[in-house]
Amino acid sequence: MTDASWSTLLDIDRAARMPKGSAFRGFKRLLPTLQEGTDFVVLDAVDPAPLMAELSAAGRVYRSSLRIVLLAPETARRIVEAFTAQAHP
């Protein structure tokens, strides 16, 4: 399902130097073309799991997040490309 190459929304915002929430908005725009379990996974913060605790401890998620979205490398790339194209038409 996921490995260390998968990104959180915060990872993408930071790496691409995008404003907070940009990766989430990009994810929502791409959502109709994505398949859960292949392109992304959603972890529910109400149901603690070792991976969620690890991501939180590593500072890879926004503190206010109730759910953590992990994105496959290709999905993360598409979000960054869409943001870059929008910012620099």
In three-state form (DSSP H/G/I as H, E/B as E, the rest C), the secondary structure along 21-67 is CHHHHHHHHHHHHCCECCCEEEEECCCCCHHHHHHHHCCCCCCCCCE
Residue corresponding to tokens 């999905």: 75
Residue 53: predicted pLDDT: 84
Query: CA-to-CA distance for 24 and 66, rounded, in angstroms?
Result: 13
Q: What is the pTM of this model?
A: 0.86
pLDDT at position 30: 96
Q: How confident is the model over 60-88, as a mean pLDDT?
A: 90
Pick the closest to residue 7 from 63, 72, 59 (CA basis). 72
Least confident segment among 19-23, 39-43, 48-52, 70-74:
48-52
Q: Decide: helix, strand or coil at residue 84.
A: helix
pLDDT at 80: 94
Whether the predicted pLDDT of 83 surpasses 90: no
Q: Report whether pLDDT(12) > 90.
A: yes
Q: What would the mean pLDDT of 3-24 be, rounded to a whole number?
A: 93
